[in-house]
Structure 1
Amino acid sequence: MRLVLITDVYPPLRSSGAVQLRDLSIEFVRQGHDITVLVASPDLSEPWTIESWNGVRVMRVRTPKTKDVGYIRRTIGELLMPFYMRHQLKQSPLKNEAWEGVVWYSPTIFLGPIAKFLKTANKCRSYLVIRDIFPEWAVDMGLMGRGLPYLFFKTVAKYQYAAADVIGIQTQGNSVYFSSWLSRYSRRLEVLQNWLADSLVCGCRISVRDTKLAGRKIFVYAGNMGVAQGMDVLLNLACLLQNRSDVGFVFVGRGSDAKRLRLDAQERGLNNVLFFDEIEPDEIPGLYSQCHVGLVALDPRHKTHNIPGKFLSYMQSGLPVLASVNAGNDIVDLIRSARVGRVCTSDSMDILRSNAEQLIEELDSDSGFSPRCKQLADRVFAPSTAVRQIVAALRS
C-alpha cells in the first residue's frame, strides 16, 4: 500500500514516540509498502524538505514551535500546526501525491485536521494510533479541572477521533473512553500493542563501572521525567535503600521534572543515585547491558491505562522490571502473568521497598528472568505485528 504517516515526533528527536515511529516506518518498508512520513518540524529553516532514510521517504514541514515552550504558546502552536502542514504540503512536490491510507500518531491530539484533509483528498481509510488519553489523564493528575480548557481540549480530541475509521488503543482498559465514538460513528476500535524493533548493543557513553555505583545491582530508568511519571516515588525508594551498598539507581533522560529531581537527590545526599542527560536511542541497549532492573513509574492518580515505551525496551533487553503504577492498570496483569518483575499499585513505600528487595534476591535465584522478558517482547511487542494489523484495518 501507499501510505502516509503523520506525526510531530521523529528522529533525530530521541523520545520514545520518535523511536517507535522510526521502527514502524522501517517495518512498513520491510513488508513491501510505500511509506511517506509527514513530520511537523518547528526548527526547519525552509518550508519543507524531503529525504530518504532506510527506504522511508520523510517529508519535514515547518510548523510553529511546540516543544520546550510555555503551555499557552504550546497550545497555540499545536492548534496551528496541522494547518501549517497542509499549507506547506500544498506548496511541495508531493502536493498531488496519491495515498491509499492515512495513519497518524497521538499524542499530539491536534493532527485531526491534516489527517481528515488527506483522507478526504485521497478517498481512503484512516487509522489513528493513540498512546495516551488526553485531556482525561491531565484531569486525573489535577493539572486541569473540567472547565473551559478541558472542554477545548476535549473538543479537539473528539475532532481527531471523528477523522479516524479505526482507532488503535494501547490496552483494552482504555476502550471505556471511546464508547460514544463507537456508537456515533459505527467504526472500529482495537487494541494495538506498543512495539519496538530489535536493537544491537553498540556501546554507550555511560559507563557504570567507572562510577561510584560500580559492582552494584543497578536499577535503571531511561526516558521522560515529567509530571505523568510521578518519579518522586523512585527517589524515595533510593533513599530507603541507601544503606545497601549492593544497590544503585541510574536515571537517564530529560523532562519537566528532571532538574527538580536532580536537586532533590543532591539535597537528600543520596550517594546511591546518578543522573545523566538524555542519550541517543541506539545507546539504550548498551546502557541496559550494564544494568539489572528496569524502573517503571506512573503517577497513581492516573485512571487511564498505559504500557510505557520504556517497558518494551526493558523487555527487549532482558531486564526484569520494578513498577509503581496506578491500580487497575493493564500492565499489572501483564507483568505478573508473564513473570517479568514486580509491580506495586499501593502508595506504601514499605511495600515498594519489599518488592525491590525480593526482586534483588530473585535475580540471583531465577535465571529465567531474561529469557521470559525477551520472549514477551518477541511475542507481543514486535513492529511486524503492528504493521500487519494496521494494514489489515486499512484494507478492510
Structure 2
Amino acid sequence: MRIALIADVFPPLRSSGAVQLRDLSRQFVQQGHEVTVMVASPELEKPWQLDHLNGMRVLRLRTPKTKDVSYIRRTFGEFMMPFAMLRNLRRSPLADATFDGVVWYSPTIFLGPVAKALKQKSDCPSYLIIRDIFPEWAVDMGLMGRGLPYRFFKRVANHQYSVADVIGVQTPGNLAYFSHGSGSRARLEVLHNWLADTPDTGCSVSARNSPLSGRKLFVYAGNMGIAQGMDILLDLAKRLSHRNDVGFLFVGRGSDARRLRDEAKKLALDNVLFFDEIDPDEIPGLYAQCHVGLVALDPRHKTHNIPGKFLSYMQSSLPVLASINAGNDLIELIQQTRVGRVCTDNSAVTLAALAEELLATLDQDGQIGRRCKALAEQMFSPEAAVRKITLALEYERQGIFDSNTGWTGAGSVSIEAEEATPQYSSEL
C-alpha cells in the first residue's frame, strides 16, 4: 500500500512520539509498503524539504513554531499548522501524489484538515492513531474548565474524529469515550503503543563515573511536565535517602524540569542526579546501568494511558515502579504480568513501601526481567501495529465484513470483542 503518515514530530526530534513514528514508518517499509511521512517542521527556512531515508520519503513542511512557546502562541501556531502544511505541500514535488491510505498521529489534535485533504484527493480510507484524549485530560488536570477554550479545542478534536474511518486507541479503557462521548462514527480498535528493539550502543550518561556509582538505580527518562506529576518521585527519593545503596536518575526535559532540579537541590538530595535529554538511541545504554524504571502520571487523570517510557523499560527488561491515576488500564497490566509495583493513592509513603518491596523482589525473583522483555515482545511491537493498521485500511477500502474482527459496512461503530477486556498471557 502507498501510505501517507502525517505528524508534527519526527526525528531528529527526540520526543517519544518522534521515536514511535520513526519505528512505525520503518516497519511499514519492512512490510513492503511505500511510505511518505509528512511532518510539520517549524525549523525550515524554505517551504518544504524532501528527504529519502531508510526506504521512505520524508516531506518536511514549514509551519509556525509550536514547541517551547507560550500557550497562546502554541494554540495559534497549532491552529495555523495544517493550513501551512497544505499550502507548502502544494508547492512541493509531491503536490499531486495520491495514496491508498492516510494515517495520522495525535497529539496534536490539529492535523484533521491535512488528513481530510489527502483522503479526499486520493479517495482512500483514513486511520487516526490517538495517544491521549485532549482536551478531556486537561479538564481532569484542572488546566482548563469547560468554557470557551474547552469548547474550541473540543470542536477541533471532534473534527479530526469525523475525518477518521478508523480510530486506534491505546488501551481498552479508551473505547468507552469514543463509543459514547465523542460523537464519532469511526470504527474503533485497540492499537497498543509500540517500540522497536534497539541495540545498546552506549550512553553519554555514566552512572559508574557519578556519585551514584555502585547503587541500585531507579531511572526516569522522558518528559517532565504537568501531566506527569513528578513531585511524588522526589518525595520518594527523600524517603529512601537513608539507603546508601539506592539512587535516582532523572533524564529528560519539560516544563517542570528546572523546577524539579531546583527542588532536589533545596532538599539536599544526594541520592538524585538530573541529566539533560539524550538521543533516543542512547536509551538502551542508559537503562543497562539501571535496575528499576519509574512511571508517574498525575492522579487527576481520568483517561487511560500507557506511557512510551513504560514500553522502553519493558523492552530493556527493567521492572517498573509506577504512581498513576486510579482505574488506569496500566494497573492491571503491571499486576497481572508481575513486571513491577503500582501505586494509585498518590502517597509517597505507599510508593516508598512498594519501592522497598520491589528492591527485595529484584534479589529474589530472577525471572522478573524476562517477564518484562516477554511483555514488550507480546504486546508492544511495531510489527503488530503496522499489521493492524494496514488490515483496517484494507477492510475500509474494500468495505467488507469480517466475522472474526467485527468489521462492517460504512457508518457503524464496531469494537473488537476480544479487545474489550485486556488479556495478558499467563506465560509472562
- In the other structure, the counterpart of 1:144 is 144
Distance 1:94 1:75 in 2: 28
- In the other structure, the counterpart of 2:415 is none
Q: Deviations over 1:29-50 (max 9, x none)?
A: 0000000000000000111011
Distance 2:262 2:210 in 1: 19
Q: Deviations over 1:196-250 (max 9, x none)?
A: 0000000000110111100100000000000000000000000000010010000
Q: Give the 3 Å change call, closer, same or farther, for CA 211–55 of structure 1 in structure 2.
A: same
- In the other structure, the counterpart of 1:80 is 80
Distance 1:184 1:51 in 2: 35
Q: Deviations over 1:314-367 (max 9, x none)?
A: 000000000000000000000011110000101222211110000001101101
Q: Give the 3 Å change call, closer, same or farther, for CA 182–242 of structure 1 in structure 2.
A: closer
User: SS at 1:391's partner residue?
Assistant: helix
- In the other structure, the counterpart of 2:412 is none
User: SS at 2:342's partner residue?
Assistant: strand
1:179 to partner: Cα distance:
2.1
- In the other structure, the counterpart of 1:36 is 36
1:387 to partner: Cα distance:
0.0
Distance 2:390 2:133 in 1: 23
- In the other structure, the counterpart of 2:172 is 172
Task: Determine if contact 1:24/1:387 at 8 Å carries over to the other structure.
Answer: yes
- In the other structure, the counterpart of 2:96 is 96
User: SS at 1:248's partner residue?
Assistant: strand
- Superposed CA RMSD: 0.9
- In the other structure, the counterpart of 2:315 is 316
Q: How does 1:1-396 map to 2 (within 5 A)?
A: 1-180=1-180, 185=185, 187-396=186-395
Distance 2:347 2:381 in 1: 35
Q: Give the 3 Å change call, closer, same or farther, for CA 343–103 of structure 1 in structure 2.
A: same
User: SS at 1:242's partner residue?
Assistant: coil
Partner amino acid, structure 2, of 1:340: V
**TM value normalised by structure 1:** 0.99
Structure 2 unmatched runs, 5+: 396-428
Distance 1:277 1:96 in 2: 42
Task: Determine if contact 2:217/2:249 at 8 Å carries over to the other structure.
Answer: yes
Q: Give the 3 Å change call, closer, same or farther, for CA 184–10 of structure 1 in structure 2.
A: closer
1:176 to partner: Cα distance:
2.1
Task: Determine if contact 2:319/2:372 at 8 Å carries over to the other structure.
Answer: yes
User: SS at 1:362's partner residue?
Assistant: helix
1:181 to partner: Cα distance:
6.9
Distance 1:18 1:212 in 2: 32
Distance 1:325 1:319 in 2: 18
Distance 1:181 1:22 in 2: 31
Distance 2:324 2:183 in 1: 31
User: SS at 2:104's partner residue?
Assistant: strand
1:174 to partner: Cα distance:
1.0
User: SS at 1:315's partner residue?
Assistant: helix
Distance 2:335 2:356 in 1: 17
User: SS at 2:208's partner residue?
Assistant: helix
1:56 to partner: Cα distance:
1.6
Q: Deviations over 1:354-391 (max 9, x none)?
A: 10000001101101011100000000000000000000
User: SS at 1:198's partner residue?
Assistant: coil
Task: Determine if contact 1:161/1:181 at 8 Å carries over to the other structure.
Answer: no
Partner amino acid, structure 2, of 1:168: G
Distance 1:348 1:189 in 2: 35
Task: Determine if contact 1:182/1:189 at 8 Å carries over to the other structure.
Answer: no
Distance 1:381 1:183 in 2: 29
Q: Give the 3 Å change call, closer, same or farther, for CA 183–255 of structure 1 in structure 2.
A: closer
User: Bigger CA drift: 252-261 or 361-370?
Assistant: 361-370
- In the other structure, the counterpart of 2:424 is none
Distance 2:108 2:76 in 1: 13
Q: Deviations over 1:20-70 (max 9, x none)?
A: 000000000000000000000000011101111111210000000000000
Partner amino acid, structure 1, of 2:301: H
Aligned residues: 395
Distance 2:203 2:53 in 1: 23
Q: Give the 3 Å change call, closer, same or farther, for CA 297–392 of structure 1 in structure 2.
A: same
Distance 1:350 1:252 in 2: 24
Distance 1:183 1:108 in 2: 19
**TM value normalised by structure 2:** 0.91
Task: Determine if contact 1:321/1:342 at 8 Å carries over to the other structure.
Answer: yes
Q: Deviations over 1:273-310 (max 9, x none)?
A: 00000000000000000000000000000000000000
